Amino acid sequence: MGRSGVTARRLLGYSGLCVVGLVVLWIGVSMLVYSPTYVARVLEMRESSQGDYLQNFPTRTIVASSKPFSYPVALDPAAETRLASALETDDLQGFLESTNTQALIVIEDDTVIVERYANGAERDTMLTSFSVAKSFDSALVGIAIDEGFIGGVDDPITDYLPELGGDESTVSPIRIADLLTMSSGLEYAEMRWALFNGDDPITTYHPDQREVALEAATRVVGAPGREFQYNKYHPQLLGMILERTTGLTVTEFTQSRLWEPMGMEYDGQWTLDSEVAGFEKMEAGLNARAIDFAKLGSLYLADGDWNGSEIVPPAWVEASVSFDPDRDRPDHYRDDFGRWIHQDGNGWYGYFWYGRARDGSDPDFFAEGDHGQFVYVSPSADTVIVRMGTEFGLSSGEWIDTFYEYCGS
């Protein structure tokens, strides 16, 4: 090999060393800025999976109810046939296996008529909520307002997080309602050029969610209430408000206000940001069994009533899931995700719940989480549908269209 070949090899070697050195430097600086735990989580876990929430974070247990409620079961082959038809399959179980579905439950007139499990899951398998957790968060906020811990949805968040206030604060106009409707005007960039500074990884993996949520709450880029933008700092800020006003952890409040009175059959868990901070991952970290997730749908189907006891105020349920003409205008949903939600006026986003219009009937509404977690409610059909899985399998829109078609058939 000539001298030029040797030189080229050396240059390539030096270039490779420089790249490795820059990567190591980038990781080292990121660890100093964000913490070694955060950087390690991003590199190890990358896009969050169900296993991450169940195994790679600490958790706090929500104990099964002392008076567990079990739905009556009357499995209906005709309902399975209708559901399979809506899914365009003649092999429902095979379809569930191929779409990475773990649980599919249909409850009609408070009776389980379809209950299928797949991909190794059973009735007692612990599953994670992803963003279905936000709809539980909403219920907790409604209860806290009803009990007087929080004044109301029009209260400025600085009433409860005063460190964000002050004469020069641009945060002060932001209300509780603006957090619940994803329209605070706070900046949120899912990913940024340096990876570790993207808001999606920060809200997923940072070991102190209180700290990062308060910092994010100072980055105001728009007027509150004007425009929808999905922002995972919102549930974190609401979790802090719940802690401060009730004097309880979110787990303790969930235990006493939802898990116990609703007769949850199994233990649940809130995933925590870390052992040290010990703050519930409000954006996505509620773990439970599919049959217990269904009970939130049944509760909202009954306008907040559970076996004759009011758990969530009916007015809160209505406000959470209903179309609001003052808010749900086309120009409120400007980004691609928002426009998809709005669907030419047929869809909207309430208080951490999605809504969908149904001609001549009350609207359907649903909680949705990443990888295809759904708690779908159709008042006109008196039906709750739960689908849980490790991946979407179908697109989000295809699942929703399927549930909508089934409930209308």
For residue range 113-129, what is the model confidence (pLDDT) as tens digits?
A: 999 999 999 999 999 99
- Quick check: 390 pLDDT over 50? yes
Q: What local confidence, expressed as pLDDT, does residue 29 receive?
A: 53
User: Residue 4 — pLDDT band, cuts 50, 70, 90?
Assistant: low
Q: What local confidence, expressed as pLDDT, does residue 5 receive?
A: 55
Q: Map tokens 């970290």 to a residue.
A: 285
User: Residue 11 — pLDDT band, cuts 50, 70, 90?
Assistant: very low
- Quick check: 355 pLDDT over 80? yes
What is the rounded average pLDDT for all residues in the chain? 92
The mean pLDDT value for 356-363 works out to: 94
Q: What local confidence, expressed as pLDDT, does residue 345 receive?
A: 87
Q: What local confidence, expressed as pLDDT, does residue 396 receive?
A: 96
Residue 45, number of CB atoms within 10 A of its CB: 17
Distance in angstroms (rounded) separating the CA atoms of residues 11 and 5: 10
Q: What local confidence, expressed as pLDDT, does residue 32 receive?
A: 56
For the stretch 283-293, pLDDT in tens is 999 999 999 99
The mean pLDDT value for 61-68 works out to: 98
User: Residue 55 — pLDDT band, cuts 50, 70, 90?
Assistant: confident
Which residue did the predictor score with more confidence, 191 or 125? 125
- Quick check: 332 pLDDT over 60? yes
- Quick check: 385 pLDDT over 50? yes
Distance in angstroms (rounded) separating the CA atoms of residues 65 and 259: 6
Answer for the pair 39, 195: CB distance below 8 angstroms, yes or no. no
The mean pLDDT value for 50-65 works out to: 91
The mean pLDDT value for 348-377 works out to: 97
Distance in angstroms (rounded) separating the CA atoms of residues 27 and 201: 15
- Quick check: 71 pLDDT over 80? yes
CA distances from 263 to 31, 136, 367 (A): 44, 15, 20
Q: What local confidence, expressed as pLDDT, does residue 44 receive?
A: 85
Q: Which residues contact 120 (CB under 8 A, 6 or more apart)?
A: 102
User: Residue 165 — pLDDT band, cuts 50, 70, 90?
Assistant: confident
Q: Map tokens 């006891």 to a residue.
A: 309
88, with CB counted inside 10 A (0-12, 13-18, 19+), is exposed
- Quick check: 328 pLDDT over 70? yes
Instruction: Give, to the nearest 10 degrees, the angle between helix 36-45 and helix 3-34.
Output: 120
Task: Write down the H helix ranges in 35-174.
Answer: 36-45, 50-55, 77-86, 92-98, 132-146
- Quick check: 309 pLDDT over 70? yes
The mean pLDDT value for 150-162 works out to: 97
Nearest CA to 390 out of 26, 127, 80 is that of 127
Rounded to a whole number of angstroms, the distance between the first and last alpha carbons of the chain is 76
Answer for the pair 239, 285: CB distance below 8 angstroms, yes or no. no
- Quick check: 13 pLDDT over 60? no
Quote the tokens at residue 2. 């000539």
The mean pLDDT value for 377-383 works out to: 98
For the stretch 173-190, pLDDT in tens is 999 999 999 999 999 998
Q: What local confidence, expressed as pLDDT, does residue 14 receive?
A: 52
Q: What local confidence, expressed as pLDDT, does residue 23 receive?
A: 45
- Quick check: 97 pLDDT over 80? yes
Question: In what side-by-side order are the strands of the sheet with 361-369?
Answer: 111-117, 101-108, 383-389, 373-378, 361-369, 354-358, 347-349
Q: What local confidence, expressed as pLDDT, does residue 65 receive?
A: 98
| Predicted model pTM | 0.93
The mean pLDDT value for 47-67 works out to: 89
Q: What local confidence, expressed as pLDDT, does residue 16 receive?
A: 52
Distance in angstroms (rounded) separating the CA atoms of residues 169 and 183: 18
- Quick check: 24 pLDDT over 80? no
Residue 168, number of CB atoms within 10 A of its CB: 6
Q: What local confidence, expressed as pLDDT, does residue 36 receive?
A: 86
Q: What local confidence, expressed as pLDDT, does residue 202 receive?
A: 94
* Size (the chain), residues: 409
